Amino acid sequence: MRRKLTQRGRERRDQLIRCAAQLFAERGYHPTSVADIVECLGVGKGVFYWYFSSKEELLSELLKSSHLSLRRRQQAAIGDEPDPVRRIELGIRATLQWFHEHRDYFAIIQFAATDETFAPVLRRNREVALGDTIRHLKEAIVEGRIPDSDPETLAHAIHGVIDQLTRRYLLETNEPVSRVADAAVSFCLGGLAGGLDEGVSPVS
C-alpha cells in the first residue's frame, strides 16, 4: 500500500496511526475494531483503507514508525559525540526518556511480541537496534575503552537491562526518569567494564 500522498494525506495517515495506537494501548489490538479507529477520528471507514491495506498493516507500520522515532531520538541525543562509551550512555538515557514519553507503545510492542504475525517486523527492529549498539561497542573495544568480549552478547545484555528497568520503574512506579536512567547507565557501564565472561547471568 504505497500511495502518492499530499501533505494533508500524510497528516491523515499519522492521525490514524496515533489514534489506533491510543486505542490499542487502552483496549488491546484485537478488541479494537477498524470501525472504532475511524470513529475516533470521525471519518468514514474508506479513509482507513485508503491509507492501509489491512488492520495488520497498520500495526506493522505503527511498530516501524515508533521504532524509527525512538532511533531518531537516540541519534539526536548522541549527536557527534566522539567517545563510543559516552555514546552508549547517551543512547540509554535517550531510550528511557523516549519510553517514558511513549508508555503506550510499550503495551503494544508487548502484545505484538505474542503474535507470530508481527514477529518479522519486531525481529527487524530488534536487529537494527542491536546493530546500532554493536557498532558503538566494537569501536569502544578497538579503542581499548572496554575489555574485548563478544559485542553481540554485550548488546543483548544492555537491551535486557533497559527492557526490564522500563517495565518495572517507568511503567509500574512513578520513579523519575533520571534516577532510573542513572541506575541503568551505571549498571550497564559497570557490566561493560567487567565483561560477562564469568557466568550465565548478566547480573553476576
Partner DNA sequence: CCGCACCTTGACCCAGCGGTCAAGTAGCGT
Partner DNA sequence: ACGCTACTTGACCGCTGGGTCAAGGTGCGG
Under the binding rule (CB under 7 A), the answer on residue 47 touching DNA is yes
Report the partner that residue 18 touches, choosing among DNA, a second copy, none (CB closer than 5 to 8 A by kind): none
- Closest distance to DNA from the beta carbon of 185 (Å): 41
Q: Is the Cα torsion angle 63, 124, 92, 65 positive or negative in sign?
A: negative
Using the structure block, give the residue that is written with the C-alpha cell 541503568. Answer: 184
Does residue number 49 form part of the binding site for DNA (CB under 7 A)? yes
When the beta carbons of 43 and 122 are compared against DNA, the nearer one is 43
Smallest distance, DNA to C-beta of residue 24, A: 11
CB of 31 to DNA, least distance (A): 7
103 residue type, one letter? R
Q: In whole angstroms, how close is the CB of 174 to a second copy at the nearest point?
A: 11
40 binds DNA (CB under 7 A): no
Half-sphere exposure of 200 (CA within 13 A, CB side): 0
Task: Report which residue type is found at 94.
Answer: A
Q: Which of residues 52-111 bind DNA (CB under 7 A)?
A: 53-56
Kindly give, in sequence order, each residue whose CB lies less than 8 Å from that of residue 37, ignoring residues fewer than 6 positions away. 16, 19, 20, 23, 48, 58
The item of DNA, a second copy, none sharing an interface with residue 161, based on CB under 5 to 8 Å by kind, is: a second copy
Taking alpha carbons only, the member of 159, 158, 139, 149 closest to residue 81 is 139
**Binding partner of 107, given DNA, a second copy, none, CB within 5-8 angstroms per partner class:** a second copy
Nearer to DNA (CB atom), residue 4 or residue 114: 4
Residue with Cβ nearer DNA (53 or 110): 53
Alpha helices in the chain (DSSP H): 7-27, 34-41, 45-51, 55-78, 84-101, 103-112, 119-142, 151-165, 177-194
Q: How many CB atoms lie within 10 A of CB 84?
A: 20
Please select the residue that binds DNA; options are 12, 71, 87, 100, rule is CB under 7 A: 12
> Residue numbers of the site for DNA (CB under 7 A)?
3-6, 8-10, 12, 30-36, 42-47, 49-50, 53-56
